[in-house]
């Protein structure tokens, strides 16, 4: 920082990402409230702890190796021009490198790492809701580390990195993570659910599904409101706030500084503010009508609307964002119930639909609407196109989402470590704690009652 | 195929303005958006009327209504 403008840019960027991290914490608070509200009373604490403890586990594993993966894997390895791991680019992300600690010559690594880490929490937290009330915490936490510190960060390295092979070859464009967070998390959740099975009582003997309503719809909706709030941080964190053409080093000429998306292609905070709010609105309106005013689906539809439009929300016109959100919500609502009936999948919070299908559909739509636009400011990259975006959606949802979750869940299930015993599921996962709590309450009441003269 | 006038970023950003797709279709998009908005109100009011009708025909003896009132 040898000039004032350099110092200001650096400190502004540092503070910018730091603020996004604080805002993104609200996403996790929202997910916890949402899940606890959706679970039944006898499973509250287990549900809350399951989601809470992914925070430290994903954090330390992301420090240990997740961050390094992002910089080492842009070529596949061996997918782009036969190139292997990029050890040189990943040097500063090694946990033992001086950049990964208090360092006066590096103001960015810590906040940039944390912004990515909060995405990791979100990916794992999306999965958490769909498997409530019957998964073992130990199994979930292993799966949380797999998606939070391995699978999603590989997809980020491939498709959410200025040098990623999917951007170069496929013209993959996913500015606000329709695919790299939501489609993968939805696919991952589905991979677990196929092996885990439905909650006891979810399906009648004739195979028709029962509705298991949330014990506290109010808490669920406030949770979703908080997720909306945290999403502002998520969106801001997807941008580079200020950078010069010289620092980008691509084809851009002139001296005009700009904000960019993660691919270093220009956009503005103003653009994503327009599009965030219009896609939220399109999603809410479509969900209200298609669900006939159901509050759970209306709120979820607002989120799904944003997720559907997110791939191209750096470029869309606000009205396009609104329509894309509305279309996506109708599709995912219908898909959720079709999959539930057809394949007996019990997704307790609709996460596979709201995140997985919405992300997948959003990528497909972006491929058509943004067809021909440059995916990158660098020369030689494929332009955005429908086929590349479809392949990208399959990679996100299927290859990096569904597949690893299915395989690991099969292994855990084979070892008897995936699902709680049926008796315990009926008693409630908090049974022991609830019994102890009630005994303590009874003891205190009896003791104090006896003191009354 | 690009509909935002850009096929690459070999430009001076000082010379670039709007970059959204389908430029020139703003008025058409605006009209479609108005139709979406008005249509939403029409559908919503029909759904609401149907729900209110069902509610009005339900619970003829008032027992459920009294129970909900008692729950406050």
**Under the phi-then-psi rule, with left for phi > 0, alpha for psi from -120 to 50, and beta for the rest, what region is A199?**
beta
Domain coverage including residue A413? 4-420
Contacts of B10 in chain A (CB under 8 A): 251-253, 379
- Residue ranges of alpha helices (H) inside A39-63 are 44-52, 54-61
Contacts of A369 in chain B (CB under 8 A): 21-22
Q: What does the pLDDT average to over A23-29? A: 97
Contacts of B8 in chain A (CB under 8 A): 251, 374, 379
**Separation CA B63–CA A292 (nearest Å):** 26
- Is residue A102's pLDDT more than 80? yes
Q: What does the pLDDT average to over A35-52? A: 96
Question: Which pLDDT does position A244 carry in this prediction?
Answer: 94
pLDDT tens digits for B31-60? Answer: 999 999 999 999 999 999 999 999 999 999
- Residue ranges of alpha helices (H) inside A183-266 are 184-196, 217-237, 245-248
- Is residue A226's pLDDT more than 90? yes
Phi, psi of A383 (to 5 degrees): -75, 160
Question: Which pLDDT does position B2 carry in this prediction?
Answer: 86
Round the average pLDDT of chain A to a whole number and report it: 97
Report yes or no on A450 lying in a domain: no
Report yes or no on A136 lying in a domain: yes
Report yes or no on A448 lying in a domain: no
pLDDT tens digits for A233-285? Answer: 999 999 999 999 999 999 999 999 999 999 999 999 999 999 999 999 999 99
pLDDT tens digits for A315-340? Answer: 999 999 999 999 999 999 999 999 99
B residues 13-52 lying closer than 8 A (beta carbon) to A: 13-16, 19-22, 26, 29-30, 32-33, 36, 40, 43-44, 47-48, 51
Q: How far away is chain A from the Cα of B26, in angstroms, using its nearest Cα?
A: 9
Report yes or no on A348 lying in a domain: yes
ipTM: 0.95
- Beta-carbon contacts of residue A191 (< 8 Å; ≥ 6 apart): A401, A402, A403, A404, A405, A406, A407, A409
Determine how many CB atoms are found less than 10 A away from the CB of residue A211.
5
**Separation CA A20–CA A47 (nearest Å):** 26
Structure token digits, residue B42: 């029409």
**Separation CA A175–CA A314 (nearest Å):** 6
CATH of the domain at A234: 1.10.3430.10
Report yes or no on A153 lying in a domain: yes
Determine how many CB atoms are found less than 10 A away from the CB of residue A111.
19
Report yes or no on A143 lying in a domain: yes
Question: Which pLDDT does position A295 carry in this prediction?
Answer: 93
Q: In the structure, what pLDDT confidence band is assigned to residue A1 with cuts at 50, 70 and 90?
A: low
pLDDT tens digits for B8-27? Answer: 999 999 999 999 999 999 99
* Domains: count for chain A: 1
Report yes or no on A334 lying in a domain: yes
- Is residue A347's pLDDT more than 90? yes
Q: What does the pLDDT average to over A184-206? A: 97
Question: Which pLDDT does position A450 carry in this prediction?
Answer: 97
Report yes or no on A20 lying in a domain: yes
Q: What share of chain A is helix, strand, coil (3-state, %, to 5)?
A: 70, 5, 30
């Amino acid at each position: 920082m040898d000039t004032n403008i350099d110092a200001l840019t650096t400190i502004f960027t540092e503070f910018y990402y730091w603020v996004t991290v604080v805002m993104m914490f609200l996403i996790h608070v929202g997910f916890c409230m949402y899940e606890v509200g959706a679970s039944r009373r006898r499973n509250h604490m287990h549900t809350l702890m399951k989601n809470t403890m992914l925070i430290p586990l994903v954090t330390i594993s992301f420090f240990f190796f997740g961050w390094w993966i992002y910089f080492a894997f842009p070529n596949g390895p061996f997918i782009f021009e036969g190139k292997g791991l990029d050890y040189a680019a990943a040097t500063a992300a090694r946990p033992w490198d001086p950049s990964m600690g208090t360092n006066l010559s590096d103001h960015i690594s810590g906040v940039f790492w944390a912004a990515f880490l909060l995405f990791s929490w979100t990916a794992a937290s999306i999965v958490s809701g769909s498997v409530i009330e019957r998964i073992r915490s130990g199994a979930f936490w292993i799966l949380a580390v797999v998606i939070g510190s391995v699978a999603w960060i590989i997809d980020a390295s491939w498709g959410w990195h200025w040098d990623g092979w999917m951007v170069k070859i496929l013209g993959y464009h996913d500015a606000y993570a329709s695919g790299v967070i939501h489609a993968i998390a939805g696919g991952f959740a589905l991979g677990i659910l196929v092996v885990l099975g439905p909650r006891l009582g979810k399906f009648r003997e004739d195979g028709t599904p029962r509705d298991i309503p949330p014990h506290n719809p109010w808490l669920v909706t406030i949770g979703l409101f908080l997720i909306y709030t945290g999403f502002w941080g998520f969106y801001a964190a997807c941008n580079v706030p200020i950078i010069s053409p010289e620092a980008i080093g691509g084809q851009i000429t002139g001296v005009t500084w700009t904000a960019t998306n993660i691919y270093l292609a220009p956009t503005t905070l103003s653009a994503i503010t327009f599009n965030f709010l219009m896609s939220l609105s399109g999603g809410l309106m479509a969900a209200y009508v298609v669900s006939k005013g159901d509050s759970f689906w209306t709120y979820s539809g607002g989120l799904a609307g944003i997720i559907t439009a997110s791939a191209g929300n750096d470029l869309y016109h606000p009205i396009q964002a609104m329509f894309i959100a509305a279309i996506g919500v109708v599709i995912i609502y219908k898909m959720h119930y079709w999959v539930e009936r057809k394949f007996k999948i019990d997704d307790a919070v609709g996460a596979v639909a709201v995140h997985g299908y919405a992300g997948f559909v959003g990528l497909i739509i972006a491929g058509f609407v943004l067809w021909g636009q440059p995916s990158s400011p660098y020369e030689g990259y494929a332009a955005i196109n429908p086929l590349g975006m479809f392949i990208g959606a399959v990679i996100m949802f299927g290859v990096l989402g569904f597949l690893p979750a299915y395989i690991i869940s099969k292994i855990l299930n084979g070892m008897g470590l995936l699902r709680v015993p049926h008796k315990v599921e009926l008693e409630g996962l908090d049974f022991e704690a609830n019994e102890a709590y009630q005994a303590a309450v009874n003891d205190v009441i009896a003791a104090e009652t006896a003191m009354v003269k | 195929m690009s509909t935002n006038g850009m096929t690459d970023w070999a430009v001076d950003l000082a010379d670039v303005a709007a970059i959204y797709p389908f430029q020139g279709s703003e008025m058409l998009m605006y009209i479609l958006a108005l139709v979406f908005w008005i249509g939403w109100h029409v559908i919503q009011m029909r759904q609401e009327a149907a729900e209110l009708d069902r509610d009005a025909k339900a619970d003829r003896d008032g027992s459920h209504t009294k129970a909900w009132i008692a729950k406050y």
